[in-house]
């Protein structure tokens, strides 16, 4: 797997969407974990935890999107 260089601008544009997806997934995960007796996570807590957890997810997403851009432009 070849690592592509992604621009800071692409990462900056994608971050709000990736962090929101992480927050939604955290919230829904804890809703499902209620079946095991774990209390639900409030939405605000999920949003706060998504800020640092969104950084590595954003890194991976930016590399994936850059690969799609390279493929579309014939650079792959």
Residue pair 19/50 in contact by the 8 Å Cβ criterion: yes
- How far apart are alpha carbons 69 and 11 in whole angstroms? 14
- 3 lies in a domain? no
Residue pair 49/27 in contact by the 8 Å Cβ criterion: no
- 15 lies in a domain? yes
- 60 lies in a domain? yes
- 1 lies in a domain? no
- 4 lies in a domain? no
Q: Which tokens belong to 68?
A: 């799609």
- 47 lies in a domain? yes
17-21, 59-63, 72-76: the lowest-pLDDT one: 72-76
Quick: pLDDT tens for 32-60.
Answer: 999 999 999 999 999 999 999 999 999 99
Residue range(s) defining the domain that contains residue 58: 9-72
- 19 lies in a domain? yes
The number of distinct structural domains making up the chain is 1
Check residue 6 and give its pLDDT. 80
- Output the CA torsion sign for 58, 22, 45, 37: negative
Check residue 75 and give its pLDDT. 81
Share of the chain above pLDDT 90, in %: 86
- How far apart are alpha carbons 1 and 23 in whole angstroms? 29
Is a pLDDT exceeding 90 seen at residue 5?
no
């Amino acid at each position: 797997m070849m690592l592509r260089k992604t621009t800071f601008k692409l990462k900056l544009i994608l971050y709000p969407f990736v962090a929101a997806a992480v927050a939604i997934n955290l919230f829904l995960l804890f809703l499902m974990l209620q079946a095991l007796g774990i209390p639900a996570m409030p939405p605000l807590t999920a949003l706060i935890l998504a800020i640092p957890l969104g950084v590595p997810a954003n890194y991976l997403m930016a590399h994936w999107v850059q690969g799609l851009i390279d493929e579309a432009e014939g650079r792959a």
